[in-house]
Amino acid sequence: YEAIDPVRFIGNHSSGKTGYALAEAAIAMGAHVTLVSGPSSERIPYGLSEFVRISSAEQMQQAMETRFDDCELCIMSAAVADYRPSEVADKKVKKSEDVWTIALEKNADILQSLGKRKAHQKLVGFALETNDGEANAKGKLEAKNLDAILLNEPGAHTGFGTETNKFTIFTSDNNSVELELSSKQELAVKTLDLLCDNYF
């Protein structure tokens, strides 16, 4: 969420379900899991090593950057805001004008900056695409120096807020695997199995 004033923000429809499902699946596999979460009404998984609640992209970046050195596998499923209001009003903005224009400035790309300083870590991102999915996902895999990317194409039973999803995983060694429509919990288990087979 990117604040406009003390009572308003710019956000998106992400529910956090995929990130929470991945955290739960990783705990069940015996991993020490840190979950850095933006606003979500999902139940916090039992057994986390650490839970970090953040709101804005800047807060998420700080939380990720300070923990990255100690991490073996980092999965960025968050729908991070690409832009934030250039100015945040300290008092509620009154509706005096007929048209309200809000200037936005670009947020840092957290995944890209983690990709730049990656050493021993395996880094996995998501690509949310409405068109040219494969080309865009592969472009992001390379541009952000990732080990794998999960292509997510929103539809009737897939994407934000739904209980189910499907995606294609592209890895940096040029493999791809399609995961069929299933619950976000099942997908999380299959994704981690696949990443572990490939990298650990």
CB of 91 to ligand CTP, least distance (A): 28
Which helix (H) or strand (E) segment holds residue 113: the answer is helix 110-117
Torsion of CA 138, 34, 17, 45, to 10 degrees: 150
**Of residues 136 and 182, the one with the C-beta less far from ligand CTP:** 136
Q: Which tokens in the block code for residue 124?
A: 């996995």
Give the SS3 label for residue 4: strand
12 is catalytic: yes
CB of 97 to ligand CTP, least distance (A): 29
176-183: long-range pairs with CB below 8 Å, 24+: 181/157
Candidates 146, 155, 95; CA nearest to 125 is: 146
**Of residues 25 and 127, the one with the C-beta less far from ligand CTP:** 127
Contact 77, 19 (CB under 8 A): yes
Candidates 1, 5, 9; CA nearest to 87 is: 5
Residue labelled with tokens 């596998």: 73
**Of residues 70 and 132, the one with the C-beta less far from ligand CTP:** 132
Catalytic residue from among 12, 131, 136, 198: 12
Q: Name residue 122's beta-bridge partners.
A: 73
The residues binding ligand CTP (CB under 6 A) are 57, 76, 78, 80, 82, 107, 109-111, 125-128, 140
**Of residues 93 and 160, the one with the C-beta less far from ligand CTP:** 160
CB of 150 to ligand CTP, least distance (A): 8
CB of 107 to ligand CTP, least distance (A): 5
Active-site residues, by number, are 12
